[in-house]
Amino acid sequence: MALFFVAIGLLVDPRVLLSNLATVGIMVALIVLGKLVVWTGVVRLFGYPLWMALTVATGLTQIGEFSFVLVQVARHSGIVGDNIYNATLAASLVTILLNAALVRYAPGVLAHMRYSRYAATAVHEGPTREALQDHVVLCGFGRVGSAIGTALETFVVPYVVIEIDPDLSATLRTRGVPSLFGDAAEPHILYRAGVDKASMVIVTLPDPERSRLAITSVRRLNPNAPVLARTHRAADHEVLARAGATEIIQSELEASSTVIRHALGYLKVPDEHIRAYLRGFRRAMDALQDGATASPLAFPEVREVTLSQSELTGRSIRDSKIRERFDVTVISITRSTGNTLLNPRSDTPLQLGDTLRVLGLPDEIDAFISRIAR
């Protein structure tokens, strides 16, 4: 494709372009405006909104490759002369350059016009500040936000949505969901949503920069409310945390945790041990995201510890409070007789000479070993 268009550009004679400006201008107008009108009409016939039809049509305003074949055949057949042929080549080059500019800038202009038009009609829509108290402000109502909204409705938790997409905003109004049209990164929109009186704010915006701005504005209006945010990348975790997010849910981390939980479940690992591993896994990942050096020792592991003279002997696992004190989980006990107890109950007594297999982070296991050694 690159070779084809470069070859077409080499065929254009600048002198022909300058001497046939009127003809080239008419052809460019016919191609660009004509295709814009035709493709807009075609997309509209398929039931898509006008802004989408204009966006599609804008990307198809350049001359088509088959046009070169047609004009070449017409030239050899004597239907058009050299002037029209050269003007067609010149017009093709101009439309290709115009199309590149239109594809780059037109969608942004159309989106701004669409936003301004809808904002003018929706400025007085939505709940009033006086009607909002101890509610949840949900910033964004895409796939994640809509699922959260359904959960809030199920448990009869009052909430208000801030949504910047005009189509989604119109759908919310049709459904009767309390919502405001606008950008959640704008302080005046957050103020209209009653963020200063909210019990919680949930930010599900796909753009990390807009999420950061929204969280910063929320913190200025309400320093105390918990702010939950979601992000796709680990690199955005620290940025949102500095902005004031109480908890950040990272899609990749949650997906990893879910796969680990299901995989270990199929392998018949007890739920208690899976939960213990995931607790350590999440804490290790949080430590890495906070700037710790990545190392395999940062993740949970299993080690064996033999009880000699220790404060734990003669007491049950529950009474010893191993998990509460050291954040490690006993997954098996091997008695001095060689008998092994897998997944021991909390009331199982610990005896002198027992070998414990414990699960936890390396530092936690080190602290546990150091304690029982003393």
- Domain contains 14: yes
How would residue 119 be classed by pLDDT, with cut points 50, 70 and 90? low
Nearest partner of 136 among 172, 178, 188, judged by Cα: 178
Pick the most confident of 177-186, 273-282, 287-296. 177-186
What is the pairing mode between strands 329-334 and 355-360?
A: antiparallel
The mean per-residue pLDDT over the stretch 156-179 comes to 87
> Nearest 5°: phi and psi at 291?
115, 5
Burial class (CB in 10 A: 0-12, 13-18, 19+), 95: buried
Is 111 found in the same domain as 10? yes
Measured CA to CA in angstroms, residue 228 lies from 78, 104, 132, 238 at distances of: 71, 34, 20, 14
Q: Is 137 helix (H, G, I), strand (E, B) or coil?
A: strand
pLDDT of residue 197: 92
pLDDT number for residue 307: 85
pLDDT of residue 296: 47
Instruction: Check whether residue 80 and residue 173 sit in a common domain.
Output: no
Q: Which two tokens stand for residue 282?
A: 């999440």
Contact 369, 319 (CB under 8 A): no
Cβ density class 1-29: b for 16+ within 10 Å, e for less: eeeeeeebeeebeeebbeebeebbeebbe
Shared-domain flag, residues 144 and 230: yes
Please check whether residue 230 lies inside any domain of the structure.
Answer: yes
Does the structure show a pLDDT above 70 at 123? no
Confidence grade of residue 294 (pLDDT, cut at 50, 70, 90):
very low
- Is 223 part of a structural domain of the chain? yes
Structure confidence by residue, pLDDT tens digits, 170-229: 888 888 888 888 889 889 889 989 999 999 999 999 888 999 999 999 999 999 999 999
pTM beyond 0.85: the answer is no
Residues 108 and 162 in one domain: no
Q: Look at residues 220, 235, 253 and tell me which one is the last residue of a structural domain.
A: 253
Residue 130's nearest CA partner among 194, 218, 214 is 194
4-56 tens-digit pLDDT: 777 777 777 777 777 778 888 888 899 889 999 999 999 999 988 887 888 88
Task: Provide mean pLDDT across the span 264-271.
Answer: 86
Same domain flag for 20 and 116: yes
Residue type, 239: V
- Is residue 276 in a domain? no
* Structure confidence at residue 116 as a pLDDT band (50, 70, 90): low
- Alpha helix (H) ranges present in 156-299? 166-175, 187-192, 208-221, 235-243, 251-266, 271-289
Residue 177 lies in a domain: yes
Q: What is the pLDDT of residues 311-327, one digit of tens each?
A: 788 888 888 888 888 88
Same domain, 140 and 116: no
> According to the model, what pLDDT value does residue 368 have?
86
In this structure, are residues 225 and 201 in contact, taking their beta carbons and an 8 Å threshold?
A: yes
The token pair that represents 38 in the structure block:
């035709």
Look at residue 268 and tell me if it is in a domain.
no
**Boundary residue ending a domain (222, 237, 253):** 253
Residue-averaged pLDDT of the chain: 83
Structural domain contains residue 153: yes
Give me the CATH number covering residue 215.
3.40.50.720
d(CA 270, CA 230): 30
Query: Is 140 part of any domain?
Result: yes
Structural domain for 221, as ranges: 129-253
